[in-house]
Amino acid sequence: MLYDHIILKYGEISLKQKNRKEFIFQLHRNVKKLLKAFTNLEIKSSRDWITITLNGEDPEEIIPICQRIFGIQNISVAMKVSNDVESIKEAALFALKEAEDVKTFKISVRRANKKFPHRSPEMNQILGAHLLSNTDGFKVDVHHPDLELKVNIREDHTFITSKQYPGAGGLPVGSSGSTLLQLSGGIDSPVAGYLAMSRGLRIEAIHFHSPPYTSDGAKQKVLDLARKLAEYGHDINIHIVPFTAMQQKIHREIPFGYSMTVMRRMMLRISEIVASKRGILSIATGESLGQVASQTLESMHAINAVTSYPVIRPLITTDKNEIIEIAKKIDTYPISIRPFDDCCTVFVPRSPKTKPKKDKVEYYENQLDLTKELDELLANIEVVQVSSSAQAKDTLDELF
């Protein structure tokens, strides 16, 4: 006997009605893409789950990848046998003997095939008696078993599973459209990207780079963060904006208290331009309410006024410690704490306005002509595509 299949059970997709097929199709595509290195796999979708036939591939290598795919509730390693009682008994016995650290077990039979001669309660008894009479030291515990053997009798075969792993939940990446993530290199924005992807959003990233005030180390940090996020869905385009000249002019000509607000408004304007060119309909940020001066309600109101695009803020009510915990879970934290400044930490005024007045911001902006800097900046955006497994690919200048 052999565990020769993996079953990916849907999460929230199961609640969908008429458009369920579209979500399943997207999930199927994501699974195929992330498992493309395993060339022997056969992947098939049905209304309730995705079945992966291993054909000799190692499930221990495949399961951790499946756990990063949004849209999957749980993952089971399964044996597939014929709808024959003796075959099912043999597989169940193998599963029990093969399990480690097990003293108690429970059998759960689900009979989707109503033509199968034994009803579910009857099969529970048949299999339970078979296991107890052919082993020593095991007991049945229907409430808190060490091992639950699940027997799913389908139309033309039966799956027996005893090993289940949690999935990532959420919705398949790409099923909710796209967003442009402002990726700074800190702890928050990659977590925001991860949470946006968990709701089905495909992401591209925009990063504001200010050499020589920010280093190549800061830029590499962002590429590494994007590569880590790519493990959860797809290759990611990073739009690297040369922000130095504009940031210097804002710092030089805007009163200190308002320079941070004006800088953020320009970042949002530039993000909207990039998003529009890419056909992206929203912008995502790592803002958390009250965390810094630019993340008060007054600041966000003044900054948000420059765009009509939806600004998605997955972390807006999240505690900093919770954000750090997620960052550690998704393994972006060690990258985010590398000691390289990003453009948001240089030219920071000593006393930024925490309650900026929108009319004052607009007044100061009207005194400032940034047309030349904006044109040069847009003409020199560098676009890099990263994947989870490969080094940064060729620069995609053709995107602009």
Residue 264 known to bind ligand: yes
Q: Report the candidate in 65, 316, 305, 310 with the shortest Cα–Cα distance to residue 177.
A: 310
Query: Which residues lie across from 202 on neighbouring strands?
Result: 178
Cis peptide before 310 (omega within 30 of 0): no
Query: Which residues lie across from 204 on neighbouring strands?
Result: 180
Contact indicator for 26, 174 with CB cutoff of 8 Å: yes
Structure tokens at 172: 């398949």
Residue 157 known to bind ligand: no
Rounded to the nearest 5 percent, the helix, strand and coil shares of the chain are 40, 20, 40
**CB half-sphere exposure, 268, CA atoms < 13 A:** 26
Residue 286 known to bind ligand: yes
Q: Which residues of 169-206 are buried (b: 16+ CB within 10 A; e: fewer)?
A: ebbbbbbbebbbbbbbbbbbbbbbbbbbbbbbbbbbbb
Residue 105 known to bind ligand: no
Contacts of 307 (CB under 8 A, 6+ apart): 268, 269, 271, 272, 283
Q: Helix (H, G, I), strand (E, B), or coil: what is residue 285?
A: coil
Alpha carbon 340 to chain centroid, angstroms = 25
Contact indicator for 178, 201 with CB cutoff of 8 Å: yes
Cβ–Cβ contacts within 10 Å for residue 122, how many?
12
Mark residue 395 as left, alpha or beta (left: phi above 0; alpha: psi -120 to 50; beta: remaining).
beta
Q: Report the candidate in 293, 383, 301, 335 with the shortest Cα–Cα distance to residue 191.
A: 335
Query: Length of the chain in residues, anyone?
Result: 400
**Position of tokens 């999957």?**
72
Contact indicator for 224, 330 with CB cutoff of 8 Å: no
For residues 234 and 284, give the distance between their C-alpha atoms in angstroms, rounded to a whole number.
17
Query: Which residues lie across from 104 on neighbouring strands?
Result: 139
Contacts of 60 (CB under 8 A, 6+ apart): none
Q: Residues at the annotated binding site?
A: 207-208, 264, 286, 295
Binding residues for ATP: 207-208, 264, 286, 295
